[in-house]
Amino acid sequence: MFRKILIANRGEIAVRVMRACKELGIKTVAVYSKADLHAFHRVYADECYFIGEPEPSKSYLNIDAIIDAAKRSGAEAIHPGYGFLAENPEFAGRCEEEGLVFIGPKPEVIEAMGSKISARRLMKEAGVPVVPGSDVLKSEDDAVDFAEKIGYPVAIKASGGGGGIGITIAYSSEEVRRAFEKSKKLGEKYFRDSTVYIEKYLPKPRHIEFQILSDGNKVLHLGERECSIQRRHQKLIEEAPSPIFDEEMREKFGRIAVKGARHIGYTNAGTMEFLYQDGELYFLEMNTRLQVEHTITEMVTGMDIVKEQIRIAYGTGISFDQEDVRIRGHAIEARINAEDPVSFLPRSGRITHYRSPGGPGVRVDSGVHMGYEISPYYDSMISKLITWGRTRIEAIARMRRALYEYIIEGVETNIPFHMVVVEDEEFAKGNTHTKFVDERHIPERVLASIKNIRHLKHRLDDIFRGMNGVRKDYDPVAIAVSAVMAYLENERIEGLVEAKVSQPWKIYHRLRSLGWM
């Protein structure tokens, strides 16, 4: 097995990968930007390396800096997490060139599936149904002609798009012309790819995805997830299994997903995403990386997907077979973001008070803590709140309780949004689709309910009463004493002056627990 792995990411996903490594007895290497000087993933790792300024292009997207850190640390492999360089074929290729194992698929597969036009073509070859649509559109006239051929409404999409960026809906020829230019510009701006294509727009589909694992020999799936609760084409709540799937459907559509992955020679973990409407499943895209929502699949299958990624990359293969995969109970994930719960505009700032929920069936994946600074440079996700129950009803009840218990102050969060959704009667019935948030007027209902939600929260906030807001780790006497004790205990205090609080904070509280201070 690998002795040391560098995690080329930050926040909760970096911590998630490090936890899997720790259980496997693998040393971990963190990289961090100037903005993440006091980040939890930095101190959780066995060692860490500074890679640049806060801007992603100068740090977490800086391939040379990350490769250099891996070489200096002696890491044998790199796990990219999700986002940043996770689906960058150039980065995967550089890892290979430098003798580092990239924990993910081959560069050529990432590149082929990174283009939605190429991915659609490959899935057609494999016999996987795709949403009716075009190849590359060369002009506005081509776009209008194709739209009128398949009928309105249509979605004009940037070929290299992701996260809902580069998608524009059109209901007429005039709107198609405007959408064509808009999607081209967005594609060029965000993905350096101005090619666009058209798909038939499905008005209220369900967003269904299958978790794939492949070691080059075995290709199998871990069941489906439903990700229909979205805003601006970005997921907010996911659940596994889908409330409308039974074993027969799971087996039927799971075979289709496996067939598509096998056709392209996929290896490692990936996700085949589909739109489901009127009994038909249509391929949407493939994410050639670990998904944010992999957690709920782990909860209902008992499988550790990150460990399997590492085993596959090392060459030992998947540790189980398709017949070993059993769906047990139901799991729901709520993405807790620092954002306005009505407008969804991101927020930044310092978390002044923090207490995460717990109890039966509750899991919290996060990289934050009290005093943590939510940076404007990165995604605004604070954590992922996951609940499991023997039934969907129990999983929802636990999610309601966990949201009630979750205290985050200092930055605005979307917890009120999640509270309204999980209390919605149609959500409880499983009647969800990608237009659910708008159709059920969730933002308006959040606005109306915030006063009551705040009243409930204030009852829990009493646990922080009496705190004077002064952080003990800034006490100069404590820092000085801690530094001396660190020297006596032969602690690693590299970067002490620059970091100011990271090691002293850790040592100070250790000394307090021993009764020395």
Burial class (CB in 10 A: 0-12, 13-18, 19+), 450: middle
Q: Could you give the CA distance from residue 157 to residue 284 in angstroms, rounded to a whole number?
A: 11
Residues catalogued as catalytic: 289
What backbone torsions phi and psi does residue 366 show, to the nearest 5 degrees? -150, 170
The residues, any chain, with a CB within 8 Å of residue 376's CB and separated by 6 or more, are 346, 348
Q: What is the residue whose two structure tokens read 């809902």?
A: 164
- Count of CB atoms within 10 A of residue 265's CB? 14
Q: Could you give the CA distance from residue 105 to residue 93 in angstroms, rounded to a whole number?
A: 10
Q: Could you give the CA distance from residue 268 to residue 101 in angstroms, rounded to a whole number?
A: 12
170: tokens are 């059109």
Q: What is the residue whose two structure tokens read 């250790």?
A: 510
Cβ-contact 110, 99 below 8 angstroms: no
Q: Is 135 left (phi over 0), alpha (psi -120 to 50) or beta?
A: beta
The residues, any chain, with a CB within 8 Å of residue 510's CB and separated by 6 or more, are none
Amino acid at 415: I
Amino acid at 274: F
